[in-house]
Copies of this chain bind each other. A is one copy, B any other.
């Protein structure tokens, strides 16, 4: 049989970090000590009350399908969480429990995107977002952003880049890879701009909860006509459980329900019972302790990278990433990351995984490991940079000479 791949197959890039990860595993298998700062997954275990809730359900042996939109009690808990945390009322009809934020994106885009549609996103941005658009034979239009706007879109940018094929706008705050927030008033203005343009607004809020110096605003405060994507993976520490949620505008509820029935049948049952314990006081107290630990790590890593000569144009305020400019050390952050892994056993993610705008100048460091390990990583990084500087200096002179010759 002839293989005839879908056209989208050629449009979806693999994650470059996967090559690094595979190499890291080889090195580990050969006995090398690797410090993982490439992983977008909290190192903390699932909170004990959440594990206990799963154990309780597991012991009943009753792990049947739930309703497609999720356990009514869990949807109610989430509605309660929005009321308590953001002082916003959300009808639980609009809340869909999904297999991770991935499932929430899938549902939201399946309900709204036609082939040829474009979604405006920031560059840099989490790579799956553009790939989800390819799934529906649409495309992402990535708008370069930098520290001047906290690596976030603005209402003016949105208006300037809106075209006939534009269907909507996605804003992720805190952002992966930059950890930066959109200002609440700017979020409101962006939503208004998209509304004026007749588009659909998607708010990726999966790192909400992991915000250190101020609170992040939910788009729901400004409009009940937006899609909000959230997850139990990051703040709630439930990555491997694959559970998140979507809040859909009223007009999309019926469609999202039909799609969920067909695409998922339902979100994993045990994960839903486990998540029922995610909002209780014991869990919340534990999560707040972890958040404090993340903020200490953020401060440590931020200061350390600056000291080594990395440039961090906008201080990250949330998530667990620092997007650091490494142009002082290299012209190609992917090669830098690969060489760092080989030489010193420190794994980080190259900028090209998040877009193309100055991507070769950036590395993403995840502080999903302890300060002790990061201290060791910083020592290794310092040693690596010094060696590289010597090497680079030599190489640079050579290549500068070559260039200069070629330019003549």
Contact = CB atoms under 8 A, between A and B. Distances in A.
A239 B64 contact: yes
Contact of A1 (B1, B45, B110, B195): B195
A240 B99 CA distance: 12
B269 A241 contact: yes
Contacts of A132: 262-263
A297 B110 CA distance: 40
Contacts of A102: 262-265
Given A111-B9, A271-B268, A261 B63 contact: no
Contacts of A263: 102, 106, 132, 135
Nearest to A101: B265
Contacts of A160: none
Interface in A15-71: 15, 18, 41, 45-46, 48, 51, 54-55, 58-59, 61-66
Interface string A108-138: 0011111100000000000110011001110
Interface residues of A, number: 79
Contacts of A267: 242
Interface in A242-292: 242, 249, 251-252, 255, 257-259, 261-271
Contact of A137 (B58, B114, B194): B114
A162 interface: no
A203 to B, nearest CB: 12
Contacts of A251: 3, 5
B241 A270 contact: yes
Contact of A45 (B62, B195, B249, B255): B62
A6 B240 contact: no
A201 interface: yes
A7 interface: yes
A309 to B, nearest CB: 33
A4 B200 contact: yes
B51 A223 contact: no
B1 A194 contact: yes
A8 interface: yes
B261 A14 contact: yes
A187 to B, nearest CB: 14
Contact of A265 (B59, B242, B252): B242
A114 B64 CA distance: 34
A258 B12 CA distance: 7
Contacts of A259: 12, 135
Given A12-B262, A58-B58, A135-B263, A240 B63 contact: yes
Contacts of A8: 110, 114
A225 interface: yes
Given A46-B61, A240-B65, A5 B266 contact: no
Nearest to A43: B64
B128 A9 contact: no
A351 interface: no
A249 B112 contact: no
A2 interface: yes
9 contacts: A4-B112, A12-B255, A13-B258, A14-B257, A41-B65, A45-B62, A102-B263, A136-B137, A137-B137
Return the 5 tightest CB-CB contacts between A and B, nearest first: A3-B251, A240-B269, A1-B225, A45-B61, A63-B240
